[in-house]
Amino acid sequence: MGETGRDRRMKKLRRCLLFIACWILPVFFSAGCSTQKQPADETEAGRNLVVGFSQLGSESAWRLGNTASMEQAAKEHGISLMMENGMQKQEKQINAIRSFIAYQVDVIVFAPIVEDGWANVLQEARDAKIPVIMMDRVINTADSDLYDAYIGPDHYMEGVNAAKFLLKKAEEMPQETIHIVELSGTDGSSPMLRRFRGFHDLIDGDERFEVLATVSGDFLRSKGRKCMENLLARYGDEIDVLYSHNDAMTLGAIEAMEEQGIRPGEDIVIITVDGEQAAVDLLKEGKINCVVECSPKLGEAVMDLAEKMVNGEEYPRNTHPEESVFTEYDDLSNLGPRGY
């Protein structure tokens, strides 16, 4: 991956020519692109690092918190962040990565909306000798060289932690068979697949539990509400537990419950993932029983890693942030603001 002095001079020339092209052809950046800061001119300490970031969307408070974390960290590191919002479309993310390659950014960061379909564009980044950081979600690939590092949560353990809470809660539940409904995230995304797997690996073999249905709310509040309305229409008071793959869908589901006079956290036990402020507030109110934390604050780790990559320093292949589980059994009085 090393560059020679000639490579750097050629790269700088190509970048200057491309910068002019990009400035003259603003259409080059599709709608939704927010270039935080044009790369600064040459400075004594050397040019600002340029990071191209393909964010997957703006679907939840978690995602907005993740974007804010990236922007803040870039600013603190003096890194020029070129961010493109994929608006929940893989094709837009792929196009954004191609534009970063053409622009010859120093590092590419992407949060893959789904696990499949990335091999070609990541091969192009590899051919262009641009290091790639995969952030938040993961891709499904046999070729682990398609990216250089991963920074993000352990979604499988989040599912396991959700199940562990339910196993504990079940000890005080009177039902002989505990009926569960599940709101799953975006189909084909790693958090959806792994939160599902982690939860079911503990629950499916236990005859006390029966999963009535798993339906996708696509990580969206509106769909979470709609799905819960449909589940209540279909199963009514048979439902004892809701396991939801993110807080946004949970908030929508709670709206649907309360509209029908159902007491969330009491009539239906609620287990949710993310740990956004609204969910923790409802946990404190007794309307949610368990919040599995999934931290969106990945910006600092990403920018630190990007600098290490460009400076030729050692860096870890995988970085998982510390994550907690907040439950009705905990003293939450000292839990500070969540920041998302």
Of the candidates 323, 334, 24, 33, which has an alpha carbon nearest to the alpha carbon of residue 152?
Answer: 323
- Cβ proximity to ligand GZL: between 137 and 164 the closer is 137
Quick check: 62 binds ligand GZL (CB under 6 A)? yes
Between CA 214 and CA 225 the distance in angstroms is 14
Q: Are 71 and 42 in contact (CB under 8 A)?
A: no
Q: CB-based burial of residue 334 (10 Å sphere; 0-12 exposed, 13-18 middle, 19+ buried)?
A: exposed
Residue choice 136, 182, 240, 307 for contact with ligand GZL (CB under 6 A): 136
CB of 298 to ligand GZL, least distance (A): 9
CA distances to 9, 74, 148, 190, 256 from 308, in Å: 21, 14, 12, 27, 48
Residue choice 54, 85, 93, 246 for contact with ligand GZL (CB under 6 A): 246
Paired sense of beta strands 107-110 and 50-55, if any: parallel
Stated as kind and residue range, the H or E segment containing 108 is strand 107-110
Residue nearest to ligand GZL (CB): 62
CB of 246 to ligand GZL, least distance (A): 4
Tokens of 329: 């059994």
Residue choice 165, 219, 243, 326 for contact with ligand GZL (CB under 6 A): 219
| Per-position x/- string for 66-105, each x denoting binding to ligand GZL as judged by CB under 6 A, each - no binding | ----------------------------------------
Q: Are 99 and 29 in contact (CB under 8 A)?
A: yes
How many chain residues interact with ligand GZL (CB under 6 A)?
A: 14
CB of 187 to ligand GZL, least distance (A): 13
Tell me the window of 59-67, 176-184, 206-214, 330-338 that interacts with ligand GZL (CB under 6 A). 59-67
Tokens of 231: 């589940």
CB of 185 to ligand GZL, least distance (A): 6
- Cβ proximity to ligand GZL: between 77 and 245 the closer is 245
Tell me the window of 38-46, 54-62, 224-232, 315-323 that interacts with ligand GZL (CB under 6 A). 54-62
- Quote the DSSP letter at residue 192: H
Quick check: 137 binds ligand GZL (CB under 6 A)? yes
Q: Are 114 and 136 in contact (CB under 8 A)?
A: no
- Cβ proximity to ligand GZL: between 80 and 189 the closer is 189
Between CA 76 and CA 79 the distance in angstroms is 8
Tokens of 79: 């890194």
Quick check: 139 binds ligand GZL (CB under 6 A)? no
| Per-position x/- string for 169-208, each x denoting binding to ligand GZL as judged by CB under 6 A, each - no binding | ----------------------x-----------------
CB atoms within 10 A of CB 25: 9
- Quote the DSSP letter at residue 317: S
Binding site for ligand GZL (CB under 6 A): 59-60, 62-63, 136-137, 153, 191, 219, 246, 248, 273-274, 294
